[in-house]
């Protein structure tokens, strides 16, 4: 069983819910990324999604696009440098870490090398936004040999036939996109998210996390009424963008604590 699966099993046994924050590696700098991961682990994150900066992030809205740009400009962040951060983090915490990114940089690194190095440094999973079909299945089986989960994405536009195929190859958890489009903060969540989770549960017993547009405590509360975990990305990245570098960790910590003040839903646990 992978570390991600173990974490969600712990949540199931304790009848609690999950929280998955996203940050971009290298924004505003790799040293700060290291500190942010440790802080988010201390705040009982279930899994941490660590974005690998890419010059053409098609699935991301402007907030995360700009964070990737800052990371590339500030520290010239590469996959190798992201692995170095995870290696350092593993001396302090065992919180599951998923690398979020696009297929092209991973292909350039080399898939077998990617799996080997990920296993060596302690990466627990990958979420690759633009890999589909047989290519996804092949890579998922490859990574599973090292207990590394390739996380599946499903969207409101995914029909039931395709949903069944995707979930059959899924590992760790299923990431349900709350709405079609790109990442970004929103005032209200789409009512399609709940319908998508209900449809997905027909085909898998894996935990389901909902993200894209989950921006405040009300959203988290709403998501946790029907999903196993809430994913918060752009809202956290926005806090990072607006913070002075030396205040980044403090400001993110304050925001996440406020975000997780969820009264009516089952308690969160990491």
In the set 27, 49, 222, 228, the catalytic residue is 49
In the set 27, 60, 124, 149, the catalytic residue is 60
Q: Are strands 97-101 and 125-128 parallel, antiparallel or unpaired?
A: parallel
Cα 108-121-11 angle, rounded to 5 deg: 110
Active site residue 49: yes
Integer Cα distance of 150 and 169 in angstroms = 9
Active site residue 225: no
- Indicate which residues carry an active-site annotation: 49, 60
């Amino acid at each position: 069983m992978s570390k991600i699966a173990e974490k969600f099993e712990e949540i199931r046994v304790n009848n609690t819910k999950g929280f998955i924050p996203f940050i971009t590696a290298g924004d505003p700098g790799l040293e700060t990324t290291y500190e942010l991961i440790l802080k988010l682990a201390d705040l009982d994150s279930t899994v941490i999604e660590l974005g690998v900066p890419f010059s053409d992030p098609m699935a991301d809205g402007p907030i995360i696009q700009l964070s990737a740009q800052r990371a590339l400009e500030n520290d010239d962040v590469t996959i190798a440098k992201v692995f170095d951060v995870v290696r350092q983090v593993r001396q302090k915490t065992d919180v599951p870490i998923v690398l979020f990114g696009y297929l092209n940089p991973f292909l350039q690194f080399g898939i077998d090398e990617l799996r080997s190095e990920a296993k060596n440094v302690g990466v627990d999973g990958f979420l690759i936004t633009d890999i589909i079909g047989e290519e996804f299945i092949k890579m998922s089986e490859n990574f599973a040999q090292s207990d590394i989960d390739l996380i599946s994405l499903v969207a409101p536009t995914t029909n039931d036939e395709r949903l069944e195929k995707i979930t059959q190859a899924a590992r760790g958890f299923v990431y349900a996109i709350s709405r079609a489009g790109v990442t970004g903060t929103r005032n209200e969540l789409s009512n399609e998210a709940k319908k998508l989770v209900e449809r997905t549960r027909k085909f898998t017993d894996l935990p389901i996390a909902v993200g894209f547009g989950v921006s405040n405590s009300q959203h988290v509360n709403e998501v946790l009424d029907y999903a196993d975990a809430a994913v918060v990305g752009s809202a956290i990245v926005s806090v990072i963008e607006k913070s002075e570098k030396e205040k980044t960790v403090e400001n993110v910590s304050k925001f996440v604590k406020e975000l997780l003040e969820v009264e009516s839903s089952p308690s969160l646990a990491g």
